[in-house]
Structures are given as structure tokens and as C-alpha cells.
Amino acid sequence: MHPKPEQEALLDVHPTPGDPFEGEVRIEHVRFSSEDGAFVVADVSLSDGSPLCVIGPLGHLEEGARARLKGVFEEHSQHGLQLRTHEAEPLDPAGVEGARQYLKTLPGIGASRAAKLIDEHGADVFEVIDRDPEAAFRSLSGIGPVRAREAAEDWVERRAQRRLYTLLAPHGLARHVSELMAAHGGDAAELISADPYSLTSIHGVGFASADRFALALEIDPRSPERMHAAAVHAIAEAEQRGHTHLPIVELVAAMRTLLGPDVEPSIGQISATAGLTLEGQLVYRDWTYEAERWLAATLGGMARSKPAWSKPPNPGEFGDLTPEQREATGNALTHRLSLITGGPGTGKTHLTHALAQMAEARGLELRLLAPTGRAARRLTQATGGVAAQTIHKALEWIPGDFPGRDESSPVEADLIIVDESSMLSLEICRHLIAGVGPET
């Protein structure tokens, strides 16, 4: 695309909160950017030079870039008037000066080499670079193979971002450009076009959004890819409600809702779908199926075995515990796995406190765990100040990564008490049990 001439000023009057905006800006400075680029705070200039603060999904734009923004003005209590944008289309630089400013930001190019490129190729400079970026930069004096390759890679990535934005913006998916570029690089647009349902792997993109995009690309409504995406989505939704699988009858009904009245789900296609496991009349996602089987086998083995330090409580340790509570403490101190249940007011908290005291009396290393920070604080109070922590912290587990504690490096503890275990998802439970050592 040829560099465009400068446009007129975008704002003729002072905007007020609630006013819409559509126009071209230049990114001057990025104040803040979230890791995925979905939330950015940037200073921009309008075509008349007026400054403006913009917030929104701008992670695909670098400083010095031009973009066409759409958004609404709003008043911030501390920062004053700002523009919240929901659409930011990358643009080629405007005019010769804009092209020079853009080119000089490429690695190893700078102002003088940018000017030389423009002098040599004029208004066709972008088209020349697009044809063979590395050759275009290698032709400059003082640019060796390494610098030329770095500049070319940066050029290709920027152009790929624009291509991806152009592909996704009409479908309301432009805010995911930065995350998709990070995942797929310069081939993101081509990969997404070939497999539109892969968009569902991105946080915030569900089946409905990916399906609208896929159908706009004229994918066959009865294609195996669409069937697969609908089936996986239906089961994933069931998992969010606490299930590990769906009966085929329920899965087919859910798929009908997703696929529409003109498409009849095929049980044969479901059973042949990669990523799904069919066991009798039940359908699982593969990982969930394997996790459930592993947990059943592992927990069964733990329930039948004793810890290395196994020692039943002495009668003098029971204090005011009821017979049922005494039996529960005996099980907890002589089995690797025990479950304490009961409704409100049945003494579960009192029993937990007693177990903590018995563990301390035996010199055992005790770990108190809970699914959430709030539950951990309640557990700390219930046990007389024994510090509890979240399961994620105990497992050294950062969301989006694998736990630091597992079979090869278990949590260091003789006794682990987990409060609110009914809140655990299958995934968290799988990782927690994997992080329990053989002598715990």
C-alpha cells in the first residue's frame, strides 16, 4: 500500500463523555500494556497534533504506528478525558515523512537509512519491501546479513499483525490479535483461516464466536471440524458445571443447540473425533478421562495404605471429641487418605483443630491447604493460628504453567489437611494428589 497523504484534524470540537470517535491517530507512547496486549494505555496524537489518552486492545500496535480507532470518550476520575477504543485498525504511515518515521523504527535502520530507502523507491517503498524484505534492507550500505534479517523479521511480523487484524476485525475478534500473534507468529492469519475453530483455545473465545467466524469463511456446516468443535465445547461446558463427561443423548442434544436445526449430529462422527473418549454411552474429553481414571486408581491405593508414621491416637488425646470424631481422627492418623464429611454444625472444624494439635504433638510436618485465599484464612483461624495456604501456592503453581510440585518433587509434609475439597475441580485435584509424596 502506498503511503497516504496527511488527513485533516479529527476533532473540530471538544468531546464530552459518551461522544463516539472514529479517526486516525499516531501511537506516541505506551504507558502500560497487559501481558496479552488486550489492555493498553497509550498516548496518541490526532492528525492535527492534539494529544489524547487511549485505553483498549492496542497490543498489536507499536510506538510510532498509525491506526484507525473507533471508541467512546469517557471521564476518568484521576486522568480526565480519555478514549476507550474497541477497534484499532493498523494503517500504513501517511505521506513521505510518515513512511520515514515508520521505517526508522525497524531494527538497525535508523533515520538516514530510512531516508535512503524512500529516496530510492519513493511512494513504492512499502511494496518493494513487501516483495523481499531481507533483500530490500540488505541493499543498504552498512547493513549486514544479520541486521537485514532482523529488520526483515520485524517488518514481516508487523505486516502479519495487520493481516490478522483485517481478518478478525469484521467478526469482533480483533482484541485477540496480540495473543494469536504470540501463539502463532507471522503465520497466524493463515493458520486461523485453515482451522478457525482453533480460536477456541484463546481465552474469551467460545464456540459461538469461532463458529460465526468459520461460517463466514464458508466452512461446510456439516464438516467434521465443526462437529468436533461443538462436541468438545459441549463437554467443556459440562465440566464447568462439575461433570466429567456427558451421556451421548445429552451431548447430541447440546450439539443440536450449537449447530442449529439444519445439522444433525452424528454419533459415528462423535466416536471418531480426536480428543474425545467414548466409554459405553459416556463421552469424555481425553485428558479428563485419563485424569479421572488416574485419580480413581491412585486414591484407591492411598486409602488402602498407611503413612510411614502411622500411629493411632491415645485415649488421652481425644479431649471432648464425640465418638464419631474420635473414629475420624483414628482413620486420619492411620491411613494415607481419609475423608471428613458432615453437615453444618457437626464439628468438622473442631475435628480439624484436634488433628492439627495431634500432628504437632507427634512432631509431624503439617500442611493446611484450601482452594481459595479466603478459605485458607478461615482454616488458619479454625486451627488456632496454624498457617494455611492455597493449593496453588503449596504446589508452586502459576496459572497457565505446570505446578512446581509433582511426583518427582512432592510437597514436603507428613500430614496434609485440605479444607473445602468439594470445591476442587478435576484438574486441581489431579495436580494436588500428584504432589503428595509417598510417605505423606
* Between 16 and 4, the higher pLDDT residue: 16
Pick the closest to residue 244 from 24, 40, 25, 425 (CA basis). 425
pLDDT band at 11 (very low <50, low <70, confident <90, very high): low
CA distances from 176 to 39, 40, 84, 168, 173 (A): 11, 13, 16, 8, 6
What pLDDT, on a 0 to 100 scale, did the predictor assign at position 8?
40
What pLDDT, on a 0 to 100 scale, did the predictor assign at position 243?
92
The answer to whether the CB of 7 falls within 8 A of the CB of 94 is yes
Mean pLDDT of 364-389: 88
CA distances from 336 to 28, 56, 197, 308, 324 (A): 61, 51, 44, 9, 19
The answer to whether the CB of 71 falls within 8 A of the CB of 81 is no
Residue 37 confidence (pLDDT) above 80: no
pLDDT band at 96 (very low <50, low <70, confident <90, very high): confident
What pLDDT, on a 0 to 100 scale, did the predictor assign at position 47?
79
What pLDDT, on a 0 to 100 scale, did the predictor assign at position 3?
40
Question: Whole-angstrom distance between the N-terminal and C-terminal Cα of the chain?
Answer: 66
The 10s digit of each residue's pLDDT in 379-393 is: 898 887 788 999 999
For cell 442449529, name the residue.
260
What pLDDT, on a 0 to 100 scale, did the predictor assign at position 250?
93
- The helix/strand/coil state of 420 is coil
Mean pLDDT of 2-14: 46
Q: What percent of the chain shows pLDDT beyond 70?
A: 96
Mean pLDDT is lowest, of 93-102, 172-181, 389-398, for 93-102
* Between 267 and 401, the higher pLDDT residue: 401
What pLDDT, on a 0 to 100 scale, did the predictor assign at position 318?
76
pLDDT band at 215 (very low <50, low <70, confident <90, very high): very high
The answer to whether the CB of 277 falls within 8 A of the CB of 285 is yes
Report the alpha-carbon distance of residue 67 to residue 326 in Å, rounded.
Answer: 70
Helices marked H in 275-410 = 286-303, 323-334, 348-361, 373-382, 391-394
Q: Residue 16 corresponds to which cell in the numbers above? A: 464530552
Q: Residue 246 corresponds to which cell in the numbers above? A: 456427558
The answer to whether the pTM exceeds 0.95 is: no
Phi, psi dihedral angles at 343 (to 5 degrees):
-75, 180
What pLDDT, on a 0 to 100 scale, did the predictor assign at position 60?
78
For the beta carbon of residue 276, count every other beta carbon within 10 angstroms: 20
Report the alpha-carbon distance of residue 63 to residue 175 in Å, rounded.
Answer: 18
pLDDT band at 13 (very low <50, low <70, confident <90, very high): low
pLDDT band at 93 (very low <50, low <70, confident <90, very high): confident
Report the alpha-carbon distance of residue 392 to residue 70 in Å, rounded.
Answer: 40
- Mean pLDDT of the chain, nearest integer: 85
Pick the closest to residue 394 from 425, 365, 358, 368 (CA basis). 368
Report the alpha-carbon distance of residue 431 to residue 440 in Å, rounded.
Answer: 15
DSSP state, residue 176: G
What pLDDT, on a 0 to 100 scale, did the predictor assign at position 287?
93
Mean pLDDT of 323-349: 85
The 10s digit of each residue's pLDDT in 100-141 is: 878 888 888 888 888 888 888 888 888 888 889 888 888 888
Residue 6 confidence (pLDDT) above 70: no
Q: Are strands 388-390 and 366-370 parallel, antiparallel or unpaired?
A: parallel
The 10s digit of each residue's pLDDT in 61-72 is: 877 788 888 888
Mean pLDDT of 10-16: 65
What pLDDT, on a 0 to 100 scale, did the predictor assign at position 325?
85
What pLDDT, on a 0 to 100 scale, did the predictor assign at position 283?
92
Residue 286 confidence (pLDDT) above 70: yes
For the beta carbon of residue 59, count every other beta carbon within 10 angstroms: 24
Starting at the edge strand found earlier in the chain, the sheet holding 366-370 runs 388-390, 366-370, 415-418
